[in-house]
Amino acid sequence: MKKTLLYITCFVFIIIVILNGTTQLEAKRNGKTGATNNNSKSCGDCHSANPNSNVLVTLTSETGSLEVEPESKTKFTLTITTPSGNSAGCNIAVKTQLNGSTLAGTLESINGSGLAVSQKELTHTQPKSLTGGKTSFDFYWIAPKEPGNYYLQAVALAANGNNSPDAGDIWNFAPTQTIKVKSPNSIQSEFISKPFEFYPNPINSNTKLIINNLENFSKIDKIAIINNRGQAVSITDVNNLMISLNNLSSGYYLLHFQINGAAYTEKIVKMD
């Protein structure tokens, strides 16, 4: 009886060990976070020991610019190119300091991109197949309110496909991209000369935007309010030369309208 109990205990222990090992492996396949700092071991704790130049990792902005407005949403692409391996994964983060630990803004995955948010960073949901030695991951970053420089960092790994993390999996860091979030003082109207003025700017929910001198014009079209994603969130008539924005969330907006056939755009800031 004692021998039978001993066998059962050993069997249960072995099963637990196997399941634990499988879980750890599966967790690796589902990505990891905290690996983007260039001065860290990164993927070297389980795979090849050091970064490998055979893995080329790039980060690009859809707009081609790394200067963004506060709280704006920008699409980025991480591209992995390598002659080795048959699948790839990655880890992406935006920091307040180069190789720091404090994260900045909000990273968002895109449906079908193969990425997921984990601990406010992005990582692959499963290894992504390489086609012609290349694959890519698309994602969004929403900038914080605070102006300044922020650091987009990433690491990517090319796996050899043997379903086991080992030295045959090679990896590398992406060159860090410095994103500049503009100061509100740098937000200027796209049209310098206008026959009217807006105030107050910034505006909050308890006040209305007042437009001076528009009464001097015979034809005033409807005003479109456009958010920082280029979407018209409101189309309104001018009512007593005042516009209420209290149904809009805080952020930066464009007021676009026509007067006597001429188009005008004004940037305004809505605050809580």
Please give the structure tokens belonging to residue 31: 């990505």
Residue type at 70? P
Domains observed in the chain = 32-183 (2.60.40.4060), 187-271 (2.60.40)
State if pTM tops 0.75: no
Average pLDDT over residues 165-190: 78
Give the pLDDT confidence of 58-81 residue by residue, as tens digits.
Answer: 999 988 889 988 889 999 999 999
Rounded Cα gap, residues 11 and 6, in angstroms:
9
Q: How many CA atoms within 13 Å lie on the side-chain side of 98?
A: 8
Q: How many CA atoms within 13 Å lie on the side-chain side of 148?
A: 12
* Spatial contact of 145 and 71, defined as CB atoms under 8 Å apart: yes
* Spatial contact of 235 and 203, defined as CB atoms under 8 Å apart: no
Give the pLDDT confidence of 192-202 residue by residue, as tens digits.
Answer: 345 566 677 77
> What DSSP element (H or E) covers 187?
none
Q: Is it true that the peptide bond before 200 is cis, omega within 30 degrees of 0? A: yes
DSSP state of 183: P
Higher pLDDT, 149 or 205: 149
User: What separation in angstroms does the CA of 203 have from each of 118, 127, 192, 236, 242?
Assistant: 35, 47, 20, 17, 12
Residue type at 265? T
